[in-house]
């Protein structure tokens, strides 16, 4: 193991980004974790101070800082509200990578990221296996969220209620697709994303249907994998870089106007993190990443701004019921997309009922939910209460990870509320009118 | 070992989950929002109720441990920077609004209640808690009382001290002391609640605060006036006051700040303007109408190129968004931002504005000036990089000169940020030797072991 001085040296690379924090403490007002714990080390200002301390070689070992740095949802609420414009998420991700590279990844994470996640084929093989056997360990809840829970007490599943893995993942149903440009004159490539592929293939199926309706050419290449955020959140820049390079190769085979995803987290990762964190050396890849991330769009944003939607006053038949909408952090705080999903919901013939704190984090935070399920649930319960208070029977949100967390929270509370992607509502509308 | 004993004793009072002592956590309680050196404490403790708070104070008293109370740690004068052998008392979980009494128009709160949370809660009941410090989204009432925080509405509505009806607190020995009352009038005993306001944690540890509420104004009107020179703007401020009109807010942005805000928010501000005045009058609809028209007239009379009156809430929000983003916009220009708050009698605003321009040139540093012109409380904001040692020296000299000029004009070192560590060495220049000695004797009598936030306000005892 290297000495702390060399670690300090590496953290010092972040200094120019760290000094931007003026310690004003505004981040405390929006941090979902701080709201629960009131601890300074849980909020951005505290973590930035710790990184500053690490750079000044103030600690005997990096473990305490690492542990605190990992207690973060990476929701970016702090960054979105920071008066000084500190790029908190990028700093934290770089710092996690520096620490992981210094300490080495844990053996379990090495297997998960290096062997599984960074190789889409192996990853698919294991997730399909898990899909086949899930019924042995879990039972269906028979609720509007269509979740399952553990049959017996399980340390891994805890008391989670989760949407089941799909019997057939999306890429089994539609391994590849390349349809010609229709009346819209637009060609779009779809980045499916793991959760949609393996848990919510129905969303990707709806994408195909909606695009067909609007005459949008659709390109879905074979062999897609993960956008890389789980590896990055654990500091594994190598697996992340490998995944980015893999996808750049896949998507350069066809010409298209936009790369669209229906997952807020994938969109935000491709747009923000692919260009800033990729560390590959191959000449030209960096420029390709820049170009691809520039034409990447969230699906709500794409449909509302680039396609003329069928206006809802053309609806013949019953009007959709009231729907409330949750802003995924990776859409609103990271990308500033908040208007479009709402417009899509309204265009689908639904009345939109705003919940209290629609843009408050749901508490999922990817691996945060795995390691800190207790706090994650406390944050999620607040979201569930806001949803329930609207008395809507459907909550829509543009991120499949948020959908998992919100389904869990609603299932636990016994609320009779369905969880949908805005695109699903639009697809329903097109089918039913 | 003393430290271990103390931590064990603290755990007995509040439970292990509410005591922090790891080196990493201590680093996170070593600073506040002031540009000062960090000091690392030995432990931090988070009581969940007043009883636990009292026991903590008693324990610190027994072990002669310095204690520093910390709310949101947004202090701009170093008031929440702890002592290196001391304990930090966190008020994060003492955050209950205990009562909002509509009939008698007061609220009783614990010190950890966030200012904006209280303001929103009372507004829901048609009542008004006016003090609105810039950090109100995070700052706590305990901190506001301890620092006598101000805000944008100081001109008409006063500052925190004008709303404190009563405070109960633990003294340096851990005894519970009550002061003030829930009545509008109260003439019994010393005005200890008044003494606690602005005492920066040096006289006691608060556990409950009774705050005065007032009716929410029925109408308001906002406007923005554009000037070629900052002199014209500052003369307008004096003229409005001289005309016996008291706007709720009367804010000034200088050209440097206007350009920073515009490049940050693209709000369409006039880049060539020497200054902007942002004004809001509120109260009864009839009076708002009358005052609004008169203020508009005065703005033009004193040279405003244009006066734009907000016709709806959206336009009003746009006007105030420009003001609210001033600090953010300036903060983005350089790594270090020193936000000063030297304050002068409001008629002296033109003279102070001139002084700030001279100081900026003399020391060759960037100063953006904005702030509460209507109450004489400007915020000269110095933009620098503390890592540049040579420039930092000039910044320190400039700050000292700002202090001196404000005092020459009959002003004060701090309108709303407090004395803390930052201004303690300069306080004697403002109040004189005997005031410092009186304050120190008072402190010594109440806190003989000097454990209540040592080093703040009066300097070393």
Mean pLDDT of chain A: 92
Q: List, as ranges, residues 341-380 from B with C-beta within 8 Å of A.
A: none
SS (H, E, C) chain B: CHHHHHHHHHHHHHCHHHEECCHHHHHHCCCCCCCCCCCCCCEEECCCCHHHHHHHHHHHHHCCCCEEEECCCCCCCCCCCCCCCCEEEECCCCCCEEEEECCCCEEEECCCCEHHHHHHHHHCCCEECCCCCCCCCCCEHHHHHHHCCCCCCHHHHCCHHHHEEEEEEECCCCCEEEEECCCCCCCCCCCHHHHHCCCCCCCCEEEEEEEECEECCCEEEEEEEEECCHHHHHHHHHHHHHCCCCCCEEEEEEHHHHHHHHHHHCCCCCCCCCEEEEEEEEECHHHHHHHHHHHHHHHHHCCCCEEEECCCHHHHHHHHHHHHCHHHHHHCCCCEEEECCCECCHHHHHHHHHHHHHHHHHCCCEEEEEEEHHHCEEEEEEEECCCCHHHHHHHHHHHHHHHHHHHHCCCECCCCCCCCCCCHHHHHHHHCHHHHHHHHHHHHHHCCCCCECCCCCCCCC
- Our count of domains for chain A comes to 4
Is A341 a residue whose pLDDT tops 90?
yes
Any domain includes B304: yes
Same domain, A25 and A146: no
At residue B43, what are phi and psi to the nearest 5 degrees?
-160, 160
Task: Report CB contact under 8 Å: A25, B46.
Answer: no
A80 interaction partners in chain B (CB closer than 8 Å): none
Same domain, B139 and B163: yes
Task: Report CB contact under 8 Å: B31, A23.
Answer: yes
Is B277 a residue whose pLDDT tops 80?
yes
| Residue B70: closest C-alpha in chain A | A40
> Is residue B131 within 8 Å of B150, Cβ to Cβ?
yes
pLDDT at residue number B325: 85
Domain range for A280 is: 170-223+246-306
Which of B30, B68, B72 to substitute to test the interface with A, most A CBs within 10 Å? B72
A11 interaction partners in chain B (CB closer than 8 Å): none
pLDDT at residue number A125: 81
Pick from B30, B93, B387: CB nearest A38: B93
B337 interaction partners in chain A (CB closer than 8 Å): 22, 84
The span from the CA of B356 to the CA of A257, in Å, is 54
pLDDT band at A310, cuts 50/70/90?
low
> Is residue B60 within 8 Å of B87, Cβ to Cβ?
yes
> Is residue B247 within 8 Å of B148, Cβ to Cβ?
no
**Tokens read off for B41:** 């404490």
Mean pLDDT on B69-89: 97
pLDDT at residue number A311: 61
pLDDT at residue number B322: 84
Same domain, A193 and A296: yes
Task: Report CB contact under 8 Å: A22, B387.
Answer: no
pLDDT at residue number A308: 78
Mean pLDDT on A175-189: 95
- Our count of domains for chain B comes to 4
Report yes or no: B334 at the A interface, CB cutoff 8 Å: no
pLDDT band at A314, cuts 50/70/90?
very low
Same domain, A322 and A407: yes
Task: Report CB contact under 8 Å: A41, B28.
Answer: yes
Any domain includes A283: yes
> Is residue B265 within 8 Å of B320, Cβ to Cβ?
no
Mean pLDDT of chain B: 95
Query: How far does the CA of residue B328 sit from the closest CA of chain A (Å)?
Result: 4
Is B190 a residue whose pLDDT tops 70?
yes
The DSSP call for residue A352 is B
**Tokens read off for A40:** 């300074």
Beta carbons within 8 Å of A124's beta carbon, 6+ residues apart: A169, A171
Pick from B24, B95, B138: CB nearest A59: B24
Any domain includes A238: no
Decide the pairing of beta strands B97-101 and B164-170: unpaired
Any domain includes B418: no
Q: DSSP labels for A207-271?
A: HHHHHHHTT-EEEE-TT----SHHHHHTT-HHHHHHHHHHHHHHHTTS--SEEEES-HHHHHIII
Q: What is the CATH number of the domain that holds A72?
A: 1.10.1060.10
Half-sphere exposure of B62 (CA within 13 A, CB side): 11
The span from the CA of B344 to the CA of B373, in Å, is 10
Any domain includes A71: yes
Chain A residues with CB within 8 Å of chain B CB: 19-20, 22-26, 28-29, 38-41, 45-46, 49-50, 53, 58-60, 64-65, 68, 83-85
Query: How far does the CA of residue B406 sit from the closest CA of chain A (Å)?
Result: 25
Same domain, A364 and A282: no
Beta carbons within 8 Å of B20's beta carbon, 6+ residues apart: A39, B26, B29, B43, B44, B45, B46
Q: Which of B348, B317, B381, B368 is nearest to B35 (CA)?
A: B381
Any domain includes B391: yes
Any domain includes A228: no
Pick from A23, A38, A83: CB nearest B46: A38
B93 interaction partners in chain A (CB closer than 8 Å): 38
Bridge partners, A149 (sequence order): A139
| Residue B71: closest C-alpha in chain A | A38
Task: Report CB contact under 8 Å: A29, B30.
Answer: no
| Residue B328: closest C-alpha in chain A | A83
Same domain, A94 and A207: no
Report yes or no: B138 at the A interface, CB cutoff 8 Å: yes
pLDDT at residue number A127: 80
> Is residue B109 within 8 Å of B97, Cβ to Cβ?
yes
Same domain, A182 and A263: yes
> Is residue A84 within 8 Å of A19, Cβ to Cβ?
no
Query: How far does the CA of residue A345 sit from the closest CA of chain B (Å)?
Result: 25
At residue A229, what are phi and psi to the nearest 5 degrees?
-65, -40
Is A312 a residue whose pLDDT tops 70?
no
The dihedral through the CA atoms of A373, A376, A381, A384 has a sign that is negative
pLDDT band at A317, cuts 50/70/90?
very low
How much of chain A exceeds pLDDT 90, in percent? 76
Any domain includes A236: no
- Rounded to a whole number of angstroms, the CA Rg of chain A reads 21
Any domain includes B416: no
> Is residue A161 within 8 Å of A141, Cβ to Cβ?
yes
Report yes or no: B461 at the A interface, CB cutoff 8 Å: no
pLDDT tens-place string over residues B222-267: 999 999 999 999 999 999 999 999 999 999 999 999 999 998 878 7
Query: How far does the CA of residue A20 sit from the closest CA of chain B (Å)?
Result: 5
- Rounded to a whole number of angstroms, the CA Rg of chain B reads 23
Q: Which of B407, B429, B424, B426 is nearest to B461 (CA)?
A: B424
Domain range for B400 is: 219-408
Bridge partners, B366 (sequence order): B383
Half-sphere exposure of A231 (CA within 13 A, CB side): 30
Report yes or no: B263 at the A interface, CB cutoff 8 Å: no
Beta carbons within 8 Å of B5's beta carbon, 6+ residues apart: none
Same domain, B457 and B352: no
Q: Of A124, A146, A163, which marks where a domain is finished?
A: A163
Residue with token string 């706590």: B140
Any domain includes A213: yes
> Is residue B207 within 8 Å of B54, Cβ to Cβ?
yes
> Is residue B206 within 8 Å of B191, Cβ to Cβ?
no
> Is residue A332 within 8 Å of A402, Cβ to Cβ?
no
pLDDT at residue number A316: 46
Mean pLDDT on B277-300: 96
Beta carbons within 8 Å of A147's beta carbon, 6+ residues apart: A140, A141, A161, A162, A163, A164, A407, A408, A411
Mean pLDDT on A144-162: 82
Same domain, B398 and B265: yes
Same domain, A148 and A215: no
Pick from B27, B93, B137: CB nearest A26: B137
Q: How many contacts (CB atoms, under 8 Å) link A and B?
A: 79
Other Cβ atoms closer than 10 A to A253: 10
Same domain, A60 and A137: no
Same domain, A100 and A112: no
pLDDT tens-place string over residues B38-71: 999 999 999 999 999 999 999 999 999 999 999 9
Is A400 a residue whose pLDDT tops 70?
yes
| Residue A45: closest C-alpha in chain B | B28
pLDDT tens-place string over residues B140-163: 999 999 999 999 999 999 999 999
Any domain includes A395: yes
pLDDT at residue number B327: 86
Query: How far does the CA of residue A301 sit from the closest CA of chain B (Å)?
Result: 23
The span from the CA of B224 to the CA of A419, in Å, is 46
The span from the CA of B184 to the CA of B439, in Å, is 28
pLDDT tens-place string over residues B386-429: 999 999 999 999 999 999 999 999 999 999 999 999 999 999 99
Any domain includes B413: no
Report yes or no: B390 at the A interface, CB cutoff 8 Å: no
């Amino acid at each position: 193991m290297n000495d702390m001085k060399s670690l300090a040296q590496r953290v010092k690379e972040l200094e120019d980004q760290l000094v931007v924090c003026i310690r004003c403490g505004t981040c405390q007002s929006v941090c979902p974790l701080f709201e629960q714990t009131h601890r300074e080390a849980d909020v951005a200002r505290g973590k930035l101070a710790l990184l500053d301390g690490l750079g000044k070689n103030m600690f005997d070992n990096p473990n305490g800082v690492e542990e605190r740095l990992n207690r973060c949802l990476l929701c970016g609420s702090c960054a979105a509200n920071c008066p000084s414009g500190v790029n908190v998420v990028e700093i934290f991700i770089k710092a996690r990578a520096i620490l992981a590279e210094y300490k080495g990844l844990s053996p379990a994470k090495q297997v998960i990221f290096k062997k599984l996640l960074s190789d889409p084929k192996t990853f698919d093989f294991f997730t399909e296996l898990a899909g086949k056997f899930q019924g042995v360990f879990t039972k269906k809840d028979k609720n509007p969220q269509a979740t399952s829970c553990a049959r017996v007490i399980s340390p891994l599943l805890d008391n989670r209620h989760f949407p089941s893995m799909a019997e057939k993942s999306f890429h089994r149903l539609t391994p590849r697709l390349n349809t010609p440009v229709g009346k819209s004159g637009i060609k779009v490539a779809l980045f499916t994303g793991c959760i949609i592929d393996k848990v919510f293939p129905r969303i990707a199926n709806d994408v195909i249907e909606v695009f067909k309706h609007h005459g949008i050419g659709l390109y879905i290449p074979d062999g897609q994998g993960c956008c890389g955020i789980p590896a990055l959140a654990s500091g594994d820049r190598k697996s992340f870089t490998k995944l980015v390079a893999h996808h750049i190769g896949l998507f350069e085979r066809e010409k298209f106007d936009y790369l669209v995803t229906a997952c807020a987290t994938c969109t935000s990762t491709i747009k923000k993190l692919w260009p800033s964190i990729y560390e590959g050396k191959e000449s030209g890849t960096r420029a390709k990443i820049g170009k691809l991330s520039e034409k990447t769009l969230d699906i709500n944003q794409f449909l509302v701004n680039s396609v003329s939607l069928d206006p809802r006053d053309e609806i013949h038949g019953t009007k959709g019921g009231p729907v409330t909408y949750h802003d995924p952090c990776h859409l609103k705080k990271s990308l500033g997309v908040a208007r479009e999903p709402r417009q899509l919901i309204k265009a689908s013939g639904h009345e939109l009922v705003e919940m209290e704190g629609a843009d408050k984090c749901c508490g999922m935070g990817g691996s945060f939910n795995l390691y800190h399920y207790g706090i994650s649930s406390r944050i999620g319960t607040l979201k569930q209460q806001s949803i329930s208070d609207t008395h809507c029977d459907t909550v829509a949100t543009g991120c499949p990870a948020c959908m998992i967390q919100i389904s869990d929270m609603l299932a636990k509370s016994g609320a009779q509320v369905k969880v949908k992607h805005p695109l699903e509502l639009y697809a329903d509308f097109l089918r039913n009118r | 070992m003393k430290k271990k004993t103390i931590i064990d004793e603290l755990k007995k009072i509040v439970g292990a989950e509410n005591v922090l002592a790891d080196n990493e956590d201590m680093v996170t309680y070593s600073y506040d929002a002031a540009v000062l050196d960090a000091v690392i404490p030995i432990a931090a403790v988070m009581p969940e109720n007043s009883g636990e708070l009292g026991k903590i104070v008693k324990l610190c008293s027994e072990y002669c441990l310095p204690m520093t109370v910390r709310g949101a740690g947004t202090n701009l004068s170093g008031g929440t920077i702890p002592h290196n052998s001391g304990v930090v008392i966190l008020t994060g979980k003492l955050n209950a609004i205990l009562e909002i009494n509509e009939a008698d128009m007061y609220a009783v709160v614990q010190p950890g209640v966030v200012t904006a949370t209280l303001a929103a809660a009372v507004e829901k009941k048609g009542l008004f808690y006016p003090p609105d410090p810039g950090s109100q989204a995070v700052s706590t009432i305990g901190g506001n009382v301890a620092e006598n925080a101000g805000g944008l509405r100081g001109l008409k509505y006063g500052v925190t001290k004008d709303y404190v009806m009563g405070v109960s607190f633990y003294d340096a020995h851990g005894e519970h002391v009550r002061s003030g009352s829930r009545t509008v009038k109260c003439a019994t005993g010393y005005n200890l609640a008044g003494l606690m306001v602005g005492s920066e944690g040096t006289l006691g540890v608060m556990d409950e605060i009774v705050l005065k509420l007032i009716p929410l104004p029925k109408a308001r009107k906002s406007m923005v006036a554009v000037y070629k020179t900052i002199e014209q703007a500052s003369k307008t401020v004096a003229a409005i006051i001289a005309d016996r009109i008291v706007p709720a807010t009367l804010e000034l942005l200088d050209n440097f700040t206007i350009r920073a805000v515009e490049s940050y928010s693209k709000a369409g501000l006039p880049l060539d303007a020497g200054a902007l005045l942002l004004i809001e009058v509120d109260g009864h609809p009839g009076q708002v109408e009358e005052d609004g028209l008169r203020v508009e007239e005065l703005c033009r009379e004193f040279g405003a190129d244009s006066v734009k009156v907000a016709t709806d809430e959206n336009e009003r929000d746009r006007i105030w968004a420009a003001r609210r983003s001033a600090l953010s916009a300036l903060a983005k220009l350089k790594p270090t931002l020193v936000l000063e708050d030297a304050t002068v009698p409001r008629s002296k605003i033109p003279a102070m504005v001139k002084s700030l321009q001279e100081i900026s040139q003399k020391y060759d540093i960037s100063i953006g000036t904005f702030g509460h012109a209507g109450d004489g409380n400007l915020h000269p904001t110095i933009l620098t990089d503390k890592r540049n040692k040579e420039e930092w020296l000039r910044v320190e000299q400039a700050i000292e000169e700002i202090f001196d000029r404000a005092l020459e004009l009959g002003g004060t070192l701090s309108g709303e940020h407090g004395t803390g560590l930052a201004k303690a060495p300069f306080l004697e220049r403002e109040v004189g030797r005997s005031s410092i000695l009186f304050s120190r004797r008072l402190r010594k009598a109440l806190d003989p072991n000097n454990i209540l936030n040592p080093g703040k306000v009066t300097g070393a005892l």
